[in-house]
Structure 1
Amino acid sequence: MPQEDEKSRSQLAFADGLAEVFARQVPRMAGRMLGLLLITDEPRLSSKDLVDQLGASAATVSNMGRLLIGLGLVERTVSPETRRDLFAIAPNAWVGTYRDGERYITEVLALADRVLADPDLTDIPRARLRELRNLYTFVWAEIPDLVSRYEQWREANGPEALYQPPGRSST
């Protein structure tokens, strides 16, 4: 049992660390939930498991689950035996976030282009919007190729490989 307690503490420490990293994008509890789903040995965790391990309410787990599902990071199924929600990391969750980002980027670019077309826009905000538009356009033009190259690398090297960028030492 002490080894299991240590493992649980280690898993929660990882979940808490990930929550801190993701705190700018999602609520802390969503980050903790994502972290726990990443680090658990189980293929899926029930909503009850998440409530118990995270010390969260059932409503919070449900709401954070919906948020993570909407972001394409988590999938939910229902256990036929217990009828409880089961949560797991979505297949290709990380690649999917880049692929699904197209709608967001497209909306930001359309909005920036509309405002940049305004003849009454002054120089300072025009420069800021141009910088935003240029960076988003540049990055978005590169992402499909990067994701495709990553998928080729993953196919060639398998899921156990750790990618090391050329010219960078491992950490």
Structure 2
Amino acid sequence: MAPERRYAEDAGLVLTSMGMPQAYGKLMGWLLICEPAAQSGAEITAALGLSKGSVSGGLRMLETAGLVHRVAMPGRRGTFFRMAPDALMRAAGSEKFTQFRELMDRGLDVVGGRDAPGAERLRETRDFYAFIEVELPKLIERYHRERGET
């Protein structure tokens, strides 16, 4: 198996352990390393040995999540997909943590507040996501600053 295919397979396993369907993880792994960086669904299907339906569904999900974008390829016909270099960093954006924190806030309301019996799980999870919601943007800003990008 080619090292590129092996990498995509490994990415599928790692991302499956994080709750993502294995085929989608393979797609992400492939789009992180493939050359050219923009690939058609048919090219991805051939490279990974996945079904056309798995690739189509996976690309649609990754596109909806903002991880993959459709791009034009001059001189070529069809639809091509490319992962932006910072896609995974943007995907980890604090708005997802805000949504989860808000869900925990609603849960606390349902059980009767922060100090209600049985609220410990919600409270601890809510506080963690509130912390991440505040700190993640600072980490991303620091990352860019240390790379000389700001």
Pick the aligned partner of 2:53 from 43, 49, 59: 59
Answer 1 or 2: higher relative contact order, Cα 8 Å, separation at least 6: 2
Superposition pairs of residues 21-170 of structure 1, within 5 angstroms = 21-23=14-16, 24-79=18-73, 81-99=75-93, 101-102=94-95, 104-118=96-110, 120=112, 123-124=117-118, 126-155=119-148
1:7-53 deviations in Å (ceiling 9; x for gaps): x6111111111111111232111111111111223121121111111
1:120-162 deviations in Å (ceiling 9; x for gaps): 57523x0000000010011111011100011112236xxxxxx
Distance of 1:38 and 1:118 partners within structure 2 = 42
- CA shift in 2, pair 1:9/1:107, >3 Å: same
Report how far residue 79 of structure 1 moved: 4.3
What is the total number of aligned residue pairs between the two structures? 146
Partner of 1:164: none
Q: In the alignment, is the contact (CA less than 8 A) between 2:8 and 2:30 conserved in 1?
A: yes
Distance of 1:62 and 1:123 partners within structure 2 = 47
- CA shift in 2, pair 1:151/1:25, >3 Å: farther
Percentage of pairs with the same residue: 31
Report how far residue 82 of structure 1 moved: 4.5
Partner of 1:12: 5
**Which has the greater radius of gyration?**
1
Structure 2, gaps ≥5 residues long: none
Structure 1, gaps ≥5 residues long: 1-7, 157-171
1:37-94 deviations in Å (ceiling 9; x for gaps): 1122312112111111111222221110111112222112244655322111124212
For 1:72, what is the secondary structure of its paired residue? coil
